[in-house]
Chain A
Amino acid sequence: MSDNQAAAVDIDDIRALIAEEIELPVEEVTDEADLAGDLEVDSLAAMEIAVQLEKRYRIKIDEEEISTFTSLSVIHRFIAAKVGTG
């Protein structure tokens, strides 16, 4: 993944999307906050996030890929790669 690909996907857009889904202020969704441990994102909420990401970025996310979503920065890199290769 190139820096250009990552830059094409705004991490703050994803931050806002996640914050909306898990009903937390955007400032609490830091780049490295652990979604499960720090932000109490359960499997259902993770699935909701994935569905919204699919709609926003017009990508397909497999179920096993959702389990790799451990932090905002991880998701950002994942989306950037998907968008770049999509």
Chain B
Amino acid sequence: MSSGELAVAGLGIVAPGVSGPEDALAPAAPAPPGWFRTEVALPGRGYRRLPDASKYLLAASRLAVGDAGGRFAETPREHRGAVVAINNTGAALLEELDRTIVDKGAEELPPSSTPFGAMSSFAGRLSMEHDITGFNLTVNSPLTAGLDAIQTAVRAVAAGRARTVLVGAVEEALSPSQSSPSQSSSAQSSSAQSPANGLQAGAVVLHCEPPGEGEARYGTCRARGTFLDPAAAASDAAAVLAALVGDDPPDRIDAVLDDSAVGTAAARWLDRLTGEHGVAVVIVPSTAQAGCLVPLQRVLGLFAQEHTAPVRRGVLAASDQGTVAFAELTVAPRGAAAKGKEN
């Protein structure tokens, strides 16, 4: 049985302007053309014609699996699982496939990318890459899917369905016609921590194992989800969020919030949390078209920080549609700082 947590043994991230997990909390950068180079991130055959989002996910997974030091390969294939979060991931591709059908006919659809019209294909290709046969799930909840993926993986591990799980989130930028004008313009002048709105691209993968069995090199995490009715957000926020976060909040909460009724209510509640419990709250501005990458990227970035002693961290994400999720992290002592303390 599991304690309702996952041990995190490996981290992988592929995103514009991010060179590794230690950069994951840096302000989001726009994706310049050519920012991702397939031949560098995915050397070998069979990747070139895949949709870019699939490549991001495969590249991030390679990094996470490699970071865990070959532990994935030691796990029998039937005990390997994957949970992948997506929101906008296949939207631009679907539009492109539609345009091909309309303009040229269905016979002109490219065989390699057409299967990704089914959104579960991103996780499916990941499973093919790593010979995962335990289980394979795709999570789509707006904004919170990455944190919901943690919760799903915790349950699967607790049920004994896997001993190693890749928990990931992947996004691809929306097309110009899909991204609302206000989203695009604000993306151009993105503030310090703007998630670049509907233009997010990249992938994050955590290599997770059951706590106790697994190596919690980076620490452990758990997640919970709830729903905050947008029509009653202001009045319901305190009760809903208090139940979600619990009465012993972590020292720091990174909150991915937009300016919707739900986001505004959550921000106000977090203000009170700061006053009452001294919790440091880092607001990460979001938008209605933000996608699910940023919340899981915050989780990865917090795990990548070095500490001399265990620290507790949280990531809260709330969408304008009312999906709310909270990930609770215990970050393990690690790195030069921790070694210095041992000595």
Name A's B-contacting residues (CB within 8 A). Answer: 22-24, 40, 44-45, 47-48, 51
How long is the Cα–Cα vector from A24 to B48 in the complex, in angstroms? Answer: 12
Interface of A is mostly: helix
Decide yes or no whether B212 CB sits under 8 A from chain A: no
B45 near A44 (CB under 8 angstroms)? Answer: no
How long is the Cα–Cα vector from A47 to B112 in the complex, in angstroms? Answer: 9
B111 near A23 (CB under 8 angstroms)? Answer: no
The number of residues on chain B lying at the interface, defined by a beta carbon within 8 Å of a beta carbon of chain A, is 7
**B98-132 contact mask (Cβ, 8 Å, vs A): 1 or 0:** 00000000000011100000000000000000000
Interface of B is mostly: loop
B-side contacts of A40, CB under 8 Å: 45
B45 near A24 (CB under 8 angstroms)? Answer: yes
B-side contacts of A23, CB under 8 Å: 45-46, 48
**B191-220 contact mask (Cβ, 8 Å, vs A): 1 or 0:** 000000000000000000000000000000
A44 near B111 (CB under 8 angstroms)? Answer: yes
B-side contacts of A45, CB under 8 Å: 46
A22 near B112 (CB under 8 angstroms)? Answer: no
Question: In the complex, what's the smallest C-beta–C-beta distance from B103 to chain A, in angstroms?
Answer: 15
A51 near B45 (CB under 8 angstroms)? Answer: no
Decide yes or no whether B49 CB sits under 8 A from chain A: yes
A47 near B111 (CB under 8 angstroms)? Answer: yes
Which residues 46-97 of B have a CB within 8 angstroms of A? 46, 48-49
Given contacts A23-B48, A48-B49, 14 further A-B contacts (CB under 8 A): A22-B45, A23-B45, A23-B46, A24-B45, A40-B45, A44-B111, A44-B112, A45-B46, A47-B111, A48-B110, A48-B111, A48-B112, A51-B110, A51-B111
